[in-house]
Amino acid sequence: MTERRERVVVVGAGLAGSLAALYLARRGYQVDVHERRPDPRSALTSPEGRSINLGLSARGMRALDEVGLLADVLKRSVPMRGRVVHAPDGDVRFQPYGVREHEILHSVLREELIALVVDAAEAEPAVRFHFGSRLTRLDRDTATVEVAPTDGGPTTRVTADLVVGADGVFSTVRQHMQHGRRADYAQEFLPWGYRELTIPVGVDGRPRVRLEALHVWPGHEALMVAHPNRDGSLTCSLFTAHEGPVSFAALDSPEAVRAFFRQRFPDAEELMPDLVEEMTAHPVGHLVTVRTAPWRHADRVVLVGDAAHAVYPFYGQGMNSAFEDCLVLDGCLAAHPDRAAALAAYEAARKPHTDVLAELSTANFVDLRDRVHRFGYTASAAADRVLSRLLPDRWASLYAMVSHTTTPYADALARARRQDRILRTAGAGLAVTAGLAVAAAVRAGRRRSTGR
């Protein structure tokens, strides 16, 4: 008699859901993935105005490497060795991400990455994908779901051993799992939204700007960032308020669009020949942070990715933290034969750190918008780089720890704060020393002038 494989239903076939399906299949589960949208490998456009570029960093790389996908992903990426900051005054400066060769990010197209992960999961005999299939009901106590075709048709009832909610920021699994329970839930929309634009290759077929970098146009009322693509183009995300004098709502004519860019991003307009057309045609996306608890119910339901902890995109960690969820969940399932204990250990290991990531992502929005082009920020970053070279095993910037290591987010923040205290103390000490030296020199000069 063949031993029964435990069954998992994954709701959501985005990046987190597809990678979770792959991990779970290799853990020995039979996995069915239900996704309300069409197969992403056949989609012609990025869904729902979402960014089509992603920055892959150490956490995501480790999770992909564990399932043998990293090498294929890196072949499809463009390395970003730092950021190029286009200041409002026209100054352009390169800021390296780190001091070591591996301390870089990798720009990858969302659609290519999803296709690769779905292909890998679907290649597992134990995984089946059901596209155009939406969740209508979840019984959290029995891990029973009801799903229905999005184009109409009868509802199907499926009973599993575990349901994984990977269905994004507005998760239906989360709503059903937490219904009637003492659950915490906080959702915060940033007053700003974003719209995708393009810097195409030049007429000579070459990139119009330095390719192996993230380009940033800071500004208090509007911010733009651009990720490089393998064809030499860059995909830009323009961030500004939804409503108000400076907002997407105010960009209601070609003249308004051109005046907006000439005033705030003076060197960008000439790089974007399709600017006006794209501003008209492309939707405005929303920016949402979600904090919630619990993430799991008994041994039956668990959340991963944005369903558990959506964050603003300004630290580039949304995808990376979702991939890390899959890796940590897999490790907890391996370490705890009792699945309820495994799910509890997973939430305990992840939630404190993803809460900190939400704080870091909000703070980095302010940095990118207002500080990256200012002397104080660049001087602090330079000091971090010098100390990282001098003390490679003892000093690392917060950005380096978040992006280039797998140090848990809260631990990275705590260490960065200790380092900041050391720098402030050292700075105060240097100031006192300099003051004493000046005073001593003045006294010595006075003694010489009086003959004493």
Domain positions in the chain: 7-78+102-187+288-366, 189-286, 375-452
For residue 246, the number of C-alpha atoms closer than 13 Å in the C-beta half-sphere is 14
pLDDT of residue 90: 86
Picking from 149, 120, 157, the residue whose alpha carbon sits closest to that of residue 9 is 157
pLDDT of residue 141: 98
pLDDT of residue 4: 72
Please, is 90 exposed, middle or buried when counting C-beta atoms within 10 Å of its C-beta (0-12, 13-18, 19+)?
exposed
Q: Is the sign of the CA dihedral 203, 208, 211, 216 positive or negative?
A: negative
CA distances to 216, 248, 266, 283, 412 from 260, rounded to whole Å, are 16, 10, 9, 18, 38
Q: Measured at the alpha carbon of residue 155, what is the angle toward residues 149 and 157, in degrees to the nearest 5?
A: 120
Q: Where do runs of H (alpha helix) occur along 391-408?
A: 398-404
Query: What is the C-alpha separation between 412 and 59, in angstroms, rounded?
Result: 13
Beta carbons of 290 and 162 less than 8 angstroms apart:
no
Query: What is the C-alpha separation between 15 and 166, in angstroms, rounded?
Result: 9
CATH class of 7-78+102-187+288-366: alpha beta
Cβ-Cβ contacts under 8 Å for 94 (sequence gap 6 or more): 82, 83, 84, 85, 210, 213
Query: What is the C-alpha separation between 375 and 95, in angstroms, rounded?
Result: 12
Beta carbons of 239 and 222 less than 8 angstroms apart:
yes
Q: At residue 345, what is the residue type? A: A
pLDDT of residue 43: 56
Per-residue pLDDT of the chain (452 residues; tens, 9 = 90+): 446 789 999 999 999 999 999 999 999 999 999 999 999 998 544 444 455 789 999 999 999 999 999 999 999 999 999 999 999 888 999 999 989 999 999 999 999 999 999 999 999 999 999 999 999 999 999 999 999 999 998 999 999 999 999 999 999 999 999 999 999 999 999 999 999 999 999 999 999 999 999 999 999 999 999 999 999 999 999 999 999 999 999 999 999 999 999 999 999 999 999 999 999 999 999 999 999 999 999 999 999 999 999 999 999 999 999 999 999 999 999 999 999 999 999 999 999 999 999 999 999 999 999 999 998 898 888 888 999 999 988 999 999 999 999 999 999 999 999 999 988 887 644 443 434 443 444 454 444 433 44
Query: What is the C-alpha separation between 24 and 441, in angstroms, rounded?
Result: 71
Picking from 178, 153, 166, the residue whose alpha carbon sits closest to that of residue 13 is 166
pLDDT of residue 337: 94
How is residue 359 written in tokens? 């704080």
Residues making up the chain, counted from first to last: 452
Picking from 301, 305, 6, the residue whose alpha carbon sits closest to that of residue 126 is 6
End-to-end CA distance of the chain: 105
pTM reported for the whole predicted model: 0.91
Beta carbons of 304 and 11 less than 8 angstroms apart:
no
Query: What is the C-alpha separation between 235 and 230, in angstroms, rounded?
Result: 11
- In this structure, the number of other CB atoms found within 10 A of the CB of residue 49 comes to 16
pLDDT of residue 431: 40
State residue 156 phi and psi, 5-degree precision.
-115, 135
pLDDT of residue 424: 84
Q: Residue 286: which H helix or E strand, with range?
A: strand 285-293
State residue 432 phi and psi, 5-degree precision.
-65, -45
- Identify the three-state secondary structure at position 171: coil
Q: Residue 140: which H helix or E strand, with range?
A: none
State residue 40 phi and psi, 5-degree precision.
-65, -20
